[in-house]
A and B are shown apart, each in its own frame.
Chain A
Amino acid sequence: MELNCRHVWEFLSGYLDDTLDAAVREDVERHLAHCEVCSAILDSTRNILVLTADDRVFELPVGFSDRLHARLNELIGEEPASPDMTRPDPT
């Protein structure tokens, strides 16, 4: 089937996740092969997703990890991990 650009945009996410039916995927690829605009949209979307998922983008509040593990320590020192866990910590 001949897809226009708007159709292709609707399939972009499925194309990136490789969840499209084989026939649709083929139609999308045929369109991308000759449409520089849709190719650029696909490339930029893929690029932006990689950048967004990079660990450097989102940062934890200062001291977050220390506070979390300090609270965990309080609990781990006090309570067994499960009701049937009665053996002492071997370490």
Chain B
Amino acid sequence: MNDEAENRTELELIAAILGGQKHLYHALVRPVEKKIFMVVLAYVHNPSDAEDIVQEAFLDGYRHLASFRGEARFSSWITTIALNKARARMKRSAAHAEVSLDDAGDEDRAPAVSPALLRDWREIPSEALERNEVRTLIRQAVSELPESYRTVFVLRELEELSGEETAAALGISLALVKVRLHRARIQLQKTLAPALRSATEPHRKNRWPSWS
């Protein structure tokens, strides 16, 4: 959009849109559209369904903008709208008829996962993400998380919602958000610590200490 729009706060933008500068809605949407897509994709898995849902959520957001209270951030308000749409769509889908994502799944009763044990850790700089192989490893590890962990993880870590906002968006308790986030993080450490170390230090020999 333009610099002027970017410098306004969310509430100022919303007031301007409701006051008639309708085109400013694009500026409200742009900074959050990617995060909302990630959240919905984590929920429905199918990029094409996720895109439809995100479009509909932002269209609804525009239609009902006057009812936005400003108590939450715009992104968490849209997230709630989008996740309601995602739930409705999955309920209609026969494949997911038996699944309610907000129930405590079997994974919540499963024993805690242990992290990968390491003797030391050399920081992997973010420049490593320039390599497609590294990005793929991370995406794969996130996609392999159990569904209920993944949704919480994406809301907390990628969309950067607070614990309370995440609980509200998913209709679960804050305690359950914390448990699922913890398990998601440990699971990712277990999968990714060895994988990323191998991928970023291919020539490292003698990985294990010698006992002689």
Q: Which of A's residues lie within 8 Å of B, judged by CB?
A: 6, 9-10, 12-14, 16-17, 19, 36-37, 39-41, 43-45, 47-58, 60-61, 64-65, 67-69, 71-72, 75-76, 79, 81-85, 87-91
Are B20 and A41 interface neighbours, CB within 8 A? no
Are B119 and A40 interface neighbours, CB within 8 A? yes
**Min distance, Cβ A60 to any Cβ of chain B, angstroms:** 6
Residue of A nearest to B130 (CB): A56
Are B22 and A76 interface neighbours, CB within 8 A? yes
B208: interface (CB < 8 Å): no
Known contacts being A9-B114, A40-B119, A68-B55, is A57 close to B135, with CB within 8 Å?
yes
List, in ascending order, chain A residues with CB within 8 A of B189's CB.
41, 44-45, 48
**Min distance, Cβ A70 to any Cβ of chain B, angstroms:** 10
Bound Cα distance from A47 to B37, whole angstroms:
24
Q: What are 30 contact pairs spanning A and B, CB under 8 A? A: A6-B114, A10-B182, A12-B186, A13-B185, A37-B117, A39-B121, A41-B115, A44-B115, A44-B116, A45-B186, A47-B124, A49-B185, A49-B188, A51-B129, A51-B138, A52-B188, A53-B157, A54-B126, A57-B138, A58-B38, A58-B158, A60-B34, A72-B26, A75-B59, A81-B22, A81-B25, A81-B63, A85-B19, A89-B20, A89-B22
Are A44 and B181 interface neighbours, CB within 8 A? no
Are B20 and A37 interface neighbours, CB within 8 A? no
Contacts across chains A and B counted by CB atoms under 8 Å: 159
Are B29 and A68 interface neighbours, CB within 8 A? yes
List, in ascending order, chain B residues with CB within 8 A of A16's CB.
185
Are B126 and A58 interface neighbours, CB within 8 A? no
Contact of B21 among A6, A17, A49, A91 (CB under 8 A): A91
Bound Cα distance from A85 to B21, whole angstroms:
11
Extra contacts besides A58-B139, A88-B20 (15): CB < 8 Å: A13-B181, A41-B116, A44-B193, A45-B185, A52-B142, A52-B188, A57-B135, A60-B37, A67-B55, A68-B55, A72-B59, A76-B23, A81-B17, A82-B66, A89-B20
Contact of B129 among A41, A54, A76 (CB under 8 A): A54
Bound Cα distance from A81 to B160, whole angstroms:
28
Interface residues on B, range: 35 or more
List, in ascending order, chain B residues with CB within 8 A of A49's CB.
157, 185, 188
Bound Cα distance from A49 to B182, whole angstroms:
12
For B30, B126, B134, B139, the residue with the greatest tally of chain A CB atoms inside 10 Å of its CB is: B126
B65: interface (CB < 8 Å): yes
List, in ascending order, chain B residues with CB within 8 A of A68's CB.
29, 33, 51, 54-55, 58
